[in-house]
């Protein structure tokens, strides 16, 4: 009798996180390209706006956040594509773990390779745009939380569009409007820190966003994946 052993959810999540991290290590360009994109676009701004450090540092919070948003969009576009194509996604749906939990390891791996990495190197980009080093902790903290919410929301859009032709542009159309509050809170935190104000309100709002996103987004992601599997 070949009965399946009981599934330990934690063990399952650990093995799936490892799987996705392993795949990322095998194709490092998927990790590095969004970072390079981030750097490249940041370089474009001084070229377009002029090298005046004061003007740049005034615009820096907005530039950093808009670019972080776009590089996050690039990551979301790739999120479930391969897994749908090679059948991994339907196997994930067959796992005896609620799908809303089963999708989380992939998101965790993606966030470690994108959001976490981007947040940690962001002070360098900030310096290039004339941000003082003192605001670096706020920049890192706001990006850490902001990228997490963006990934959770983006994954909803990715799950809904992964099965359709030319889903990339559609994905941007679906999720960019939803990113508006994150953009506002993130730039607000930075601006407060720059002007010597108190960034904690904006950071707390981002934290609330992460909590709410972790509670609700997985349900929507699971529903979206199920729809995409029907096609």
Q: Which residues bind another protein (CB under 8 A)?
A: 1-5, 7-8, 11-12, 15-16, 18-19, 22-23, 26-27, 83, 85-97, 102, 153, 156, 160-161, 163-167, 170, 173-174, 176-178, 180-181, 184-185, 188, 216, 220, 223-224, 226-231
Task: Tell me the closest approach of the beta carbon of residue 102 to another protein, in angstroms.
Answer: 8
Q: Is the dihedral of CA 183, 189, 192, 195 positive or negative?
A: negative
Closest to another protein by CB, 115 vs 224, is 224
Task: Tell me the closest approach of the beta carbon of residue 136 to another protein, in angstroms.
Answer: 22
Closest to another protein by CB, 4 vs 47, is 4
Task: Tell me the closest approach of the beta carbon of residue 184 to another protein, in angstroms.
Answer: 5
Burial 18-34 (b: 16+ CB within 10 A, else e): eebbeebeeeeebbeeb
Closest to another protein by CB, 139 vs 217, is 217
Closest to another protein by CB, 80 vs 111, is 80
CA angle 76, 80, 83 (to 5 degrees): 155
**DSSP string for residues in 14-40:** HHHHHHHHHHHHHSTHHHHHHHHHHHH
Task: Tell me the closest approach of the beta carbon of residue 71 to another protein, in angstroms.
Answer: 20
Closest to another protein by CB, 38 vs 80, is 80
Task: Tell me the closest approach of the beta carbon of residue 4 to another protein, in angstroms.
Answer: 5
Closest CA to 46 of 67, 69, 26: 67
Closest to another protein by CB, 43 vs 227, is 227
- Do residues 31 and 24 make contact, with C-beta atoms less than 8 angstroms apart? yes
How far apart CA 223 and CA 217 sit, in angstroms, is 10
Task: Tell me the closest approach of the beta carbon of residue 226 to another protein, in angstroms.
Answer: 8
Closest CA to 213 of 154, 169, 172: 154
How far apart CA 131 and CA 195 sit, in angstroms, is 12
């Amino acid at each position: 009798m070949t009965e399946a052993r009981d599934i330990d959810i934690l063990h399952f999540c650990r093995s799936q996180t490892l799987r996705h991290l392993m795949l990322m290590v095998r194709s490092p360009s998927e990790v590095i390209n969004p970072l390079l994109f981030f750097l490249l676009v940041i370089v474009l701004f001084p070229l377009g706006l002029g090298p005046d450090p004061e003007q740049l540092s005034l615009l820096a919070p907005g530039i950093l956040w808009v670019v972080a948003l776009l590089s996050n969009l690039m990551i979301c576009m790739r999120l479930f594509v391969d897994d749908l194509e090679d059948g991994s996604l339907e196997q994930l749906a067959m796992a005896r773990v609620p799908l809303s939990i089963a999708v989380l390891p992939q998101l965790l791996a993606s966030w470690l390779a994108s959001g976490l990495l981007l947040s940690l190197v962001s002070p360098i980009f900030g310096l290039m745009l004339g941000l003082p080093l003192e605001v670096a902790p706020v920049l890192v903290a706001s990006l850490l939380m902001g990228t997490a919410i963006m990934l959770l929301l983006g994954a909803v859009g990715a799950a809904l569009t992964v099965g359709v032709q030319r889903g990339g542009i559609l994905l941007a159309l679906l999720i960019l409007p939803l990113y508006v509050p994150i953009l506002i809170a993130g730039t607000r935190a930075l601006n407060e820190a720059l002007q010597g104000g108190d960034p904690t309100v904006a950071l707390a709002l981002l934290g609330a966003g992460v909590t709410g996103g972790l509670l609700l987004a997985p349900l929507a992601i699971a529903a979206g994946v199920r729809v995409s599997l029907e096609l």
